[in-house]
Amino acid sequence: MTAPVLTPAPGAVDAAANNHSASLARRFAKDPIGMAALIFLSIVVLACAFAPLLTTNAPDKAVLGNILADPGNGLLLGGDSAGRDVFSRLLYGGQFSLLGALLALSIAVVLGGVSGLVAGYFGKWFDTLSSAAAAILMALPGMVVLLAARSVLGSSAWWAMSIFGVLLSASVFRLVRQTVQNVRNELYVDAARVAGLSDARIIFRHVLRVVRAPFIIQAASIGSVAIAIQAGLEFLGLGDMTIPTWGSMLNDGFARIYQQPLLVIWPALMIALVCLSLTLIANSVRDALENTGSRHRTRRTRTGRGAAAKTTTHSSNPTVAPAAAQNTGTHNSETPLLSVRNLHVGYHQADGSTTHIVHGINLDVHAGEVLGLIGESGSGKTQTAFSIMRLLPAGGAITDGQVLWGGRNLAELSERELTALRGKEIAYIPQEPMSNLDPSFTIGSQLVEPMRLHLGLNKADAKTRALDLLTRVGIVNPERVYSSYPHQVSGGMAQRVLIAGAISCNPRLLIADEPTTALDVTVQAEILDLLRSIQQEHGMGVIMVTHNFGVVADICDRVAVMRNGEIVETGPASTIFSEHTHPYTTQLFDAILTPDNIREPYRAPNTMKGEVTTP
Amino acid sequence: MPAFLIRRLLTGLAMLLIISALAYLLLYLTGSDIARNLLGDNASQEAVDLRAAELGLDQPLHTRYLSWLGGAITGNLGRSWFGGSDVTSLLMSRLGVTLTLVVTSTVISAIIAIALGVWAAVRGGWIDKTIQVFSLTGAAIPNYLIALGLVALFAINLAWFAPTGYTQPGASLGGWIASVTLPVAALTIGCIAGTAQQVRSSMLDVMRQDYIRTLRSRGLGPGRIIYRHALRNAAGPGLSVLGLQFVGLLGGAVVIEQMFAIPGLGSLSVSSTTQGDIPVVMGVVILIAAIVITVNLLIDIAQGILNPKVRLS
């Protein structure tokens, strides 16, 4: 009954920040279900409002001959147990049911909205106090409170709905407070404050705009809950018997269910459909919010593809062909560990099309070799790395080409075959250490699980090996880290744990996705040294995804430069450093800070020559 | 962990105290003359005064509240104004019925909702769409209407169950099951719908996390990923929703018990409300509040066990 009121997902709230109501309304208008619900609701509201125009029978006029009458004879839906016109009662009853819900909604919105705004924006003692009040209001089922209130206040529907409004204000309060707090900490609100905008203006210009959409969603579901509980009270026979309402009609119908089953159907349908359409409207608004968010994303990738497609037509043939030639030419002729041929990666879009982000690349990695895959963000290097292990996010897939591994094409293996191979033959080291450990399990159990699976070790042996690995990656107190949870270790430590996990089953190829980017500069060098020594110890092949030529210089044997989903240049690391040919590679090199391009210290015009102002 | 628990326990007790004070204030602070209402307009003023003194209504409100509170702490919630029976034993005789109804519904809902939510999140496609439509509809339609539909179909048309009535499980287990099937079904459908939705979205959230990809990269199969890792991480939000649903079910039970003539707290609160039997109403309110606060406390503990960040801080 007091079903938890729908709350929009946090993502939806964020997305709302960037949206105008116009585009939201357009999205909503395109959703047939939401629109149908809105139209139905409008018809019900209008029919109830203009009830006198639709029926000439008074809702409480009892005619003996019409008791439990079937539809017909001037009674569109028949007569009730007292011989009153059901159709007329349905319309007039709707007035009270809808107005009652509106009363509850207004109280909830005004009380919860204002207090949520104040608590979220100004915080302090008011926040503490009102949050406690909200917690108390939410601790009791609405029905029980309404029953208690009825025992002293009598059966007035208006009283009941006012009290229910106060109860529901707690959920509005929580939503508004949370949203306002989020917005308050946004940078653009800080900027507005620094710019000297008054609190009132910030609230009206920035905060209210974000709160509005989640507010609509919640208002619709509050309306639905209010109608349901009000009718529920009346259905129990605890409502206001002096006015016609859907709930009292339900009560009357249920009592006569054997004699005239139709009686219960009309009010039940009315309540169910109105509640359902309010929920559907809330849901459609939420969908519209989320879609406007994702549409922005889609548009961005599309422009990305547009740009990439342009480069394809201009430069794909001259660059890819020599790259492939260099690939086989520069290295020894033994068969490579991994061979990527003409790899295309694409994402399925909602409209059925596919957006390509990797356009036919070729790569070879030999045993014992470190291949640097370098490029700026968005160049497709991480997507390439994921597609080799087929770990692309939902919607992403290899659309063409081959990933050859020991005579097998990984692009065509079943998920089961690939699962058996992941971790055991090809392993992965992620970029962001803290988000890549499962927060609910100890580090030890996360290390042990794959080893027991792939190496068939028993619990004790797996633990011994895990402790050895932790020692190997330079962790001083392996026992303690083994039994720690991820949130208890530092980022550098977590990255060492992830390296230990990746090498735990002796893989032949390691794919490292910017393994040092998220770490402190001092830790970066240590991690690279560690990777290098482990790689040499095991003779592993490594694909090192990076945007940093420093990393390349440090550890890579060969380099492939990626741009817009293509490889524009490959060669031995030493050659790339001295004689790169592609203009993009030159551009990447120019971006590196060297002693030559450090700018002169700033001199204030009025200081004497040679005197450097300290920043 | 113990400090966190003690803090929660104290907060819960404070909330219970505030709720009792507020409820007492609102229930007894009516303008109307309670003793006069009880005895009717024809009673003499002396009789009314005598009755008021008997009920302690001549004392100031705060004295009455304090003496009620003193009694409540020792488990004495006063006497009913109608029939004079002991409120505590009245409540206890009804509590078991309601709790079995609500707890059974919660457990069944949790199992089905988790299964449906995980299924929808993992399989996607038309299965996901169907489950979402069910969730949306089931959560939107008030549970008494669902009960009405079930009664019309299974009790009246098919006559599989009696439309109303309650059999004690001690008297006949089969009879008890038959008598609670429709009420429990009516309560669970809405609860499943709301919870499945939440399980689905938190599963989807977790499945998008980086560590899921890393676990997959280690060669863990889909079964292990979904049931061992993802479900464990999605359990927190799911539990919170289940807690909210439990409060909803307690409210829903009021109507459902009345519909099916089940002698639980709900029907007691309806009858005492209609009579204006304030001590019983007060007892029901405080008992329900205590149940809700206890359940929330249990959920907090469960969250702590599930989430090492809470447990270890």
pLDDT tens for A542-551 read 999 988 888 8
Q: 10 Å Cβ neighbour count for B190?
A: 27
Residue B112's pLDDT is: 94
Helices (H), A413-546: 415-421, 443-454, 459-472, 478-482, 491-503, 521-538
B283 compared with A263, residue with greater pLDDT: B283
B211 chain-A contacts, CB cut-off 8 A: 435-439
Provide the ipTM: 0.84
Q: For residue range B91-112, what is the model confidence (pLDDT) as tens digits?
A: 999 998 999 999 999 999 999 9
Instruction: Confirm whether B233 is domain-assigned.
Output: yes
Between the alpha carbon of residue B160 and those of residues A265, A275, A560, B184, the distances in Å are: 21, 29, 73, 15
Chain A's closest residue to B244, CA to CA, is A4
Question: Helices B231-260 and A142-153 sit at what angle, rounded to 10 degrees?
Answer: 30
Q: For residue range A69-97, what is the model confidence (pLDDT) as tens digits?
A: 677 666 666 777 666 777 878 888 888 88
Which of B220, B222, B284 has its CB closest to that of A144?
B284
CB contact (8 A) between residue A438 and residue B247? no
Band of the pLDDT at A596, cuts 50, 70, 90? low
Q: How far apart are CA B137 and CA A432, in angstroms?
A: 41
Instruction: Confirm whether B268 is domain-assigned.
Output: yes
Tokens read off for A591: 């971006």
Band of the pLDDT at A319, cuts 50, 70, 90? very low
Test the A interface: residue of B34, B80, B144 with most A CBs within 10 Å = B144
Band of the pLDDT at B33, cuts 50, 70, 90? low
Residue A138's pLDDT is: 84
Instruction: Confirm whether B79 is domain-assigned.
Output: no
Q: Which of B27, B46, B73 is the last residue of a domain?
A: B73
Which of B139, B211, B273 has its CB closest to that of A437?
B211
Lowest mean pLDDT among A208-217, A291-300, B141-150, B269-278: A291-300
Tokens read off for B108: 């069944």
B308 compared with A597, residue with greater pLDDT: B308
**What are the backbone angles phi and psi of residue B223, rounded to the nearest 5°?**
-60, -50
Per-residue pLDDT, averaged over B55-59, amounts to 75
Instruction: Confirm whether B164 is domain-assigned.
Output: yes
Residues B248 and B130 in one domain: yes
Residue A355, strand partner residues: A347
Q: Letter for the amino acid at A501? A: G
Q: Look at chain B and report how many structural domains it folds into.
A: 2
Residues B22 and B114 in one domain: no
Q: For residue range A242-254, what is the model confidence (pLDDT) as tens digits?
A: 788 888 888 888 8
Does the pLDDT of residue A64 top 50, yes or no? yes
Tokens read off for A377: 């963000």
A391 chain-B contacts, CB cut-off 8 A: 213, 216-217
Residues B102 and B223 in one domain: yes
Mark which residues 553-592 of A lie under 8 Å from B by CB.
Answer: none
Residues B57 and B137 in one domain: no
By the CB < 8 Å criterion, does A485 face chain B? yes
Residues B151 and B55 in one domain: no
Gap from A503 CA to chain B (nearest CA, Å)? 10
Residue A330's pLDDT is: 44
Q: 10 Å Cβ neighbour count for A347?
A: 20
- CATH assignment of the domain containing B99: 1.10.3720.10
Does the pLDDT of residue B14 top 50, yes or no? yes
8 A C-beta contact, residue A325 and residue A69: no
Q: Which of B15, B38, B73 is the last residue of a domain?
A: B73
Average pLDDT taken over every residue of chain B = 86
Instruction: Confirm whether B80 is domain-assigned.
Output: no
Q: How far apart are CA B11 and CA B15, in angstroms?
A: 6
How are beta strands A396-405 and A338-348 bridged, if at all?
antiparallel
Q: Is the C-alpha dihedral spanning A546, A550, A556, A561 positive or negative?
A: positive
Residue A291's pLDDT is: 61
Band of the pLDDT at A309, cuts 50, 70, 90? very low
Average pLDDT taken over every residue of chain A = 79
8 A C-beta contact, residue A371 and residue A559: yes
Mark which residues 189-248 of B lie under 8 Å from A by CB.
Answer: 190, 194, 201, 208-211, 213-222, 224, 229, 232-233, 241, 244-245, 247-248
Q: 10 Å Cβ neighbour count for A421?
A: 20
Lowest mean pLDDT among A113-122, A296-305, A406-415, A422-431: A296-305
Residues B60 and B208 in one domain: no
B249 compared with A122, residue with greater pLDDT: B249
Band of the pLDDT at B26, cuts 50, 70, 90? confident
Residues B233 and B277 in one domain: yes
Three-class secondary structure assignment of chain B: CHHHHHHHHHHHHHHHHHHHHHHHHHHHCCCCCHHHHHHCCCCCHHHHHHHHHHCCCCCCHHHHHHHHHHHHHCCCCCECCCCCCEHHHHHHHHHHHHHHHHHHHHHHHHHHHHHHHHHHHHHCHHHHHHHHHHHHHHHHCCHHHHHHHHHHHHHHHCCCCCCCCCCCCCCCHHHHHHHHHHHHHHHHHHHHHHHHHHHHHHHHHHHCCHHHHHHHHCCCCHHHHHHHHHHHHHHHHHHHHHHHHHHHHHHHHHHHHHHHCCCCHHHHHHHHHHHCCHHHHHHHHHHHHHHHHHHHHHHHHHHHHHCHHHHHC
Does the pLDDT of residue A7 top 50, yes or no? no
Mark which residues 360-389 of A lie under 8 Å from B by CB.
Answer: 386, 389
Residues B223 and B101 in one domain: yes
Lowest mean pLDDT among A61-65, A142-146, A611-615: A611-615
pTM, to two decimals: 0.80
Band of the pLDDT at A292, cuts 50, 70, 90? low
Q: Which of B73, B99, B134 is the last residue of a domain?
A: B73
Instruction: Confirm whether B81 is domain-assigned.
Output: no
CB contact (8 A) between residue B213 and residue A430? yes
Q: How far apart are CA A391 and CA A409, in angstroms?
A: 15
Instruction: Confirm whether B234 is domain-assigned.
Output: yes
Residues B157 and B211 in one domain: yes
Instruction: Confirm whether B295 is domain-assigned.
Output: yes
CB contact (8 A) between residue B285 and residue A140? yes
Tokens read off for A476: 């001083």
Band of the pLDDT at B168, cuts 50, 70, 90? confident
Q: How many CA atoms lie within 13 A of B121 on its CB side?
A: 25
Residues B242 and B170 in one domain: yes
Q: How far apart are CA B162 and CA B175, in angstroms?
A: 10
Find the domain containing B53 and state its range: 2-73
Q: What is the CA radius of gyration of chain A?
A: 34
Band of the pLDDT at B192, cuts 50, 70, 90? very high
Residues B55 and B163 in one domain: no
CB contact (8 A) between residue A271 and residue B224? no
Residues B139 and B233 in one domain: yes
